[in-house]
């Protein structure tokens, strides 16, 4: 595997601002996703994938043709073009740390931004490796451009080595995964895969087989606005009512700050508005899908209590599904996980099945009937100015894909 070429790809991809825009009507929600997609199509065509193209919705599709004469199931490799709207992805200035010496990593654009070993204990095992960080003013975009780079390097390696056995491999780069719309316009019948793998995971050698189930709640708080000089007994301040509503949500439980492992949460993450109207967006997450209804009812109960405390205010709670736990659908095709494990064994690597306190395009692919585990790509601290990745972990992801393609071609060995 060409590590330097993979690194160059990754650094090239993160320069393109593909930040998803919540609330946008169009798909993709940002022009940078079109731009990165066009770049990837050009690179795929140069690698010999002549059918590489962008759809009318900017999804990138391509086919790596088989090298074996016998029929082999088609597999798909997928990653997403967009980055999180929680932190800007514009003007990314990555720093490459060769031969990481250990210890905390200060970020050059902001002396208060430091990647600390205390909060990132996995750094202790990466001394001597090549790390890539932000400069502290933006996210890095390893979620999910590390996945894109790993797929592209695997495709390049397989194209250069036609002697390696492989069946048909479909490439699918989606848009707007970070705002829950990644597979909205993927035609699974046209994709034609038996299984898929998303490259959107943390660290190395993990196979994610379970995700949160997820809903998005939007709470609209309406008040009565009037000039403050004549507001006595007439104004109903939606900002104060929104603060009351948020105060009624659990703080010591059911929040990301106080939960871990298989515990679900309610996460208010965005608020906007003024005296007349405030909108609050809240993530509902749980591994137990029915628990999402209980979380939504908690919001509705808090809304009724706030209405009672603020006469004249009204609160509406709107809930829409985002994705579902992939564990519900993966058993339909057990080879999806078994062959990923076999590829690790063939590479003499320790591996483990893991769960994600989040979701991937694979959650929705699986719910739609395409079993899709999620594989490691070296993501760390996603959605943050403290985001970083490890080149050797990206290389390991590409090597795993190359072996995985061969396992499918050999029927599981």
d(C-alpha 112, C-alpha 187), whole Å: 46
User: Is 185 within 8 Å of 37 (Cβ atoms)?
Assistant: no
Instruction: Confirm whether 244 is a catalytic residue.
Output: no
Distance CA 400, CA 413 (A): 14
Q: What count of Cα atoms within 13 Å lies in the side-chain half-sphere of residue 119?
A: 11
Residue keyed to tokens 């906007």: 272
266 three-class SS? strand
**SS3 of the chain: helix, strand, coil, percent, to 5:** 35, 25, 40
Cα torsion 21, 26, 31, 33: sign:
positive
Contacts with 231 (C-beta within 8 Å, 6 or more apart), sequence order? none
Active-site position among 17, 43, 82, 208 = 82
Cα gap 110→57, rounded to integer Å: 37
Both ends of the chain: CA-CA distance in Å? 22
Considering the candidates 17, 143, 144, 177, report the single residue annotated as catalytic. 177
Question: Given CA atoms 320, 323, 328, 331 in this order, what sign does their dihedral have?
Answer: positive
Contacts of 398 (CB under 8 A, 6+ apart): 1, 6, 150, 151, 153, 154, 157
Report whether 123 contacts 203 (CB < 8 A): no
Q: Which helix (H) or strand (E) holds 29?
A: none
110, 96, 8: which is closest to 385 by C-alpha?
Answer: 110
Active-site annotation holds for 82 = yes
Residues with catalytic function: 82, 177
């Amino acid at each position: 595997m060409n590590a330097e070429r993979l690194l160059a790809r990754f650094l090239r991809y993160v320069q393109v601002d593909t930040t998803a825009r919540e609330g946008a009507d169009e798909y993709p929600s940002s022009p940078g996703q079109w731009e990165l997609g066009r770049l990837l199509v050009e690179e795929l065509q140069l690698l010999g994938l002549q059918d590489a193209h962008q759809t009318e919705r900017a999804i990138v599709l391509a086919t790596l043709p088989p090298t074996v004469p016998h029929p082999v199931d088609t597999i798909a490799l997928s990653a997403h073009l967009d980055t999180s709207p929680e932190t800007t992805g514009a003007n990314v200035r990555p720093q490459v740390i060769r031969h990481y010496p250990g210890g905390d990593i200060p970020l050059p654009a902001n002396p208060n931004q430091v990647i600390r070993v205390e909060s990132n204990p996995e750094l202790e095992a990466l001394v001597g490796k090549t790390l890539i960080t932000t400069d502290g003013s933006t996210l890095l975009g390893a979620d999910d451009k590390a996945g894109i780079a790993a797929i592209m390097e695997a495709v390049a390696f397989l194209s250069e080595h036609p002697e390696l056995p492989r069946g048909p491999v479909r490439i699918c780069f989606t848009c707007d995964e970070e705002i829950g719309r990644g597979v909205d316009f993927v035609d699974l019948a046209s994709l034609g895969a038996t299984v898929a793998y998303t490259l959107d995971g943390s660290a190395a050698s993990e196979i994610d087989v379970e995700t949160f189930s997820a809903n998005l709640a939007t709470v609209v708080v309406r008040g009565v606005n009037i000039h403050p000089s004549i507001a006595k007994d007439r104004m109903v301040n939606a900002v104060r009512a929104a603060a009351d509503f948020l105060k009624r949500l659990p703080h010591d439980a059911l929040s990301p700050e106080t939960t871990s492992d298989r515990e679900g949460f309610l996460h208010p993450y965005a608020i906007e508005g003024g005296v007349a109207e405030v909108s609050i967006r809240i993530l509902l997450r749980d591994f137990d899908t029915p628990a999402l209804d209980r979380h939504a009812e908690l919001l509705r109960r808090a809304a009724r209590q706030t209405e009672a405390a603020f006469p004249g205010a009204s609160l509406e709670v709107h809930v829409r599904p985002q994705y579902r736990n992939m564990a519900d659908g993966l058993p339909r095709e057990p080879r999806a996980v078994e062959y990923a494990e076999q590829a690790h064994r063939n590479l003499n690597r320790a591996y483990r099945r893991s769960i994600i306190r989040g979701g991937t395009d694979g959650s929705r692919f699986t719910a739609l009937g395409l079993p899709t585990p999620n594989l490691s790509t070296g993501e760390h601290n996603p959605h943050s100015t403290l985001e970083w990745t490890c080149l050797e972990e990206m290389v390991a992801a590409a090597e795993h894909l190359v072996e995985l393609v061969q396992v499918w071609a050999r029927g599981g060995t």
